[in-house]
Structure 1
Amino acid sequence: MKRIGLFGGTFDPPHVGHLTICKTVLSSLSLDEVWLIPTYQPPHKQPPEASFEHRNNMLQYLISHEPQLKISKVESERRGRSYTIETVKILKEREINSQFFFIIGGDMVEYLPKWYAIDELKTMIQFVGVTRPGSDFVDQSVLKVNMEETDVSSTVIREQIERHEHPEGLPIKVYDYIKEHGLYGS
């Protein structure tokens, strides 16, 4: 059975912190692959600044040298709000011989009870919480993976670009793409 990590997010823009999370979980849990799933329209926050196409293209640059990392466009195929349970149902239908591990930040574990259809979702996948130094959680149903601190944020990167500063934590190919397409006020 194939072991696949699922890592959803807006990736607006994707950065080395996202890459570090994927590689850490891939190694820690001996997964075969990790699929990055850019949300089409997040249910819990404002729409991303960059279009789905731009975010997908930036992700391609981010993972270009990582053969075990893939991008799934499943949420753009569905359109509309991106509820995790709907995405997982589709992926389980397509990948019947796979076991899925859904990766979230350790700080998000406490919000799992508020997720749409969480009880059903927990029967379909294994949640993985990534913790950083100084953070922890107590939900025994969530696998814990410890990771070194990566002080990178998409919000901060967007603000740095808007101020015409060189953003930290952004691979040069992703930054070149942002400048070429005039994203985030560049």
Structure 2
Amino acid sequence: MTQRIGLLGGTFDPIHHGHLRAALEVREALGLDELRLIPSARPPHRERPGASAEQRLAMVQLAIAGIAGLAVDDRELQREKPSYTVDTLLSLRAELGAEVQLILLLGWDAFCGLPTWHRWQSLLELAHVLVLQRPDQAAELPEALKDLLAARSVQNPQAFTGPAGQVAFMEQTSLAISATHIRALCAAGQSIDFLLPSSVQHFIQAHGLYRDAP
């Protein structure tokens, strides 16, 4: 059997139950051997994170401790240049080989913005793409992505074939949790109970994170 590995990147500033629920649902639905959470060091499309790279990595490690099938991959934190997804996929291919099935998880908004990414058309040479949708999402796709889907989409992500090259969609449980909102609550001195793992909450409080968040 070919090994199947899912990849979920993000700033995780901080990681919360929305991230974790999406990761678990995909791992179970697709029968993945492993799903790796990949914190980005210098995301090119976003402002500088509120927590340091080391703190965000520590929070991800705390969040997934003891959860079977989830792992953290810190390769992007080892780079000094911006975290381009294509570079991460090239690095994983060099490490894992050409036959492993890599499945890149993207939220709907990220997928709609894919044509602005660095070397975005090379991504499907290196991985399959699984787009995570919420029931309330109905944004119009750019024409470049409509052409991509016409050529590359499959109905069922469980039917991904080969190591890379296809796109599928999967509806996820809608959890209206955002890292932006968590940071705002911290800045306002309000509770963040039940929005993220207690271990992560304790880390945030112990290190005084996000007290000055916008």
CA contact (8 A) 2:5 2:36 kept: yes
Is the deviation greater in 16-25 or in 162-171? Answer: 162-171
The yes-or-no answer on 1:124 pairing with 2:149 is no
Question: How many angstroms does 1:144 deviate by?
Answer: 0.8
Query: 1:67: Cα distance to partner?
Result: 2.0
Partner of 1:163: 188
Residue of structure 2 equivalent to 1:98? 100
- Partner Cα distance (2:206, 2:188) in 1: 17
Aligned residue in 2 for 1:57:
58
Tell me, what secondary structure is at the counterpart of 1:143? strand
Give deviations 1:104-138, integer Å, cap 9, x for gaps.
Answer: 11232221122111111111100110011122576
Asked whether the 8 Å contact 2:107–2:133 carries over to 1, the reply is yes
Give the secondary-structure state (helix, strand or coil) at the position aligned to 1:67: coil
Report Cα offsets for 1:10-43 as digits up to 9, x if no partner. 0000000000110111112111111000001001
How far residue 69 of structure 1 moved from its aligned partner, in angstroms, is 0.5
Q: Measure the CA separation in 2 of the matches of 1:108 and 1:51.
A: 23
Partner secondary structure for residue 210 of structure 2: helix
Give me the identity figure in percent.
Answer: 34
Considering only aligned residues, what root-mean-square deviation do their CA atoms show, in Å?
Answer: 1.5
Asked whether the equivalents of residues 22 and 173 of structure 2 are also in contact (C-alpha less than 8 Å), the reply is no
- Residue in 1 that maps onto 2:171: 146
Report the Cα distance in structure 1 between the residues aligned to 2:58 and 2:75, rounded to whole angstroms: 15
The runs of 5 or more residues in structure 2 that have no matched partner are 154-165
SS of aligned partner of 1:35: strand
How far apart, CA to CA, are the structure 2 residues paired with 1:108 and 1:52?
A: 21
TM-score, normalization: structure 1?
0.94
Q: Residues of 2 paired with 1:142 and 1:132: CA distance?
A: 17
Quick check: 1:5–1:103 contact (8 Å CA) kept in 2? yes
Matching residue of 2:43 = 42
Paired with 1:26 and 1:95, the residues of 2 have a C-alpha distance of 19
| Contact 1:107/1:131 (<8 A) preserved | no
Tell me the distance in 2 between the aligned counterparts of 1:148 and 1:107. 16
The offset of 1:160, in angstroms, is 0.4
CA distance in 2, matches of 1:48, 1:9: 11
Kept in 1: contact 2:16–2:195 (CA 8 A): yes
SS at structure 1 position matched to 2:182: helix
Q: Distance in 1 between matches of 2:18 and 2:101?
A: 25
User: Which residue number in structure 2 is paired with residue 71 of structure 1?
Assistant: 72
| Max Rg structure | 2
How do 1:106-117 residues align onto structure 2 when only pairs under 5 Å count?
106-117=108-119
Residue 124 of structure 2 aligns with an amino acid whose one-letter code is K
SS of the aligned residue for 2:35 comes to strand
Q: Is the 8 A contact 1:28 1:145 kept in 2?
A: no
TM-score (norm 2): 0.83
